[in-house]
Amino acid sequence: MALDSFKLDGPDGPLDAQIVHPPQASAMLVLAHGAGAAFNHTTMIAISEAMAAQGIATLRFNFPYMQKAR
């Protein structure tokens, strides 16, 4: 399983993001966080890991308001 961290081009600047990519993934799920936690919250990570165990890649990212700590 590969974990790639990178920046997405957001409307107000770069946004933190990560892809969890198991070998030969059959699909990709885009996970968006809620108002109270960022993309790297333990629950978001646990969901990504559980999906990877099933052969599903995930993309997690921060929304602009969370990136700017608003």
Per-residue pLDDT of the chain (70 residues; tens, 9 = 90+): 888 999 999 888 999 999 999 999 999 999 988 888 888 999 999 999 999 999 999 999 988 788 877 6
Note the pLDDT of residue 10. Answer: 87
Note the pLDDT of residue 28. Answer: 96
Give the number of domains in the chain. 1
Answer yes or no: are the C-beta atoms of 17 and 66 closer than 8 Å.
Answer: no
Separation in Å, CA 19 to CA 7, 9, 24, 67: 11, 15, 14, 17
Residue range of the domain that includes 55: 2-67
Specify which residues 2 forms β-bridges with.
Answer: 21
Separation in Å, CA 25 to CA 15, 22, 35, 58: 24, 6, 29, 10
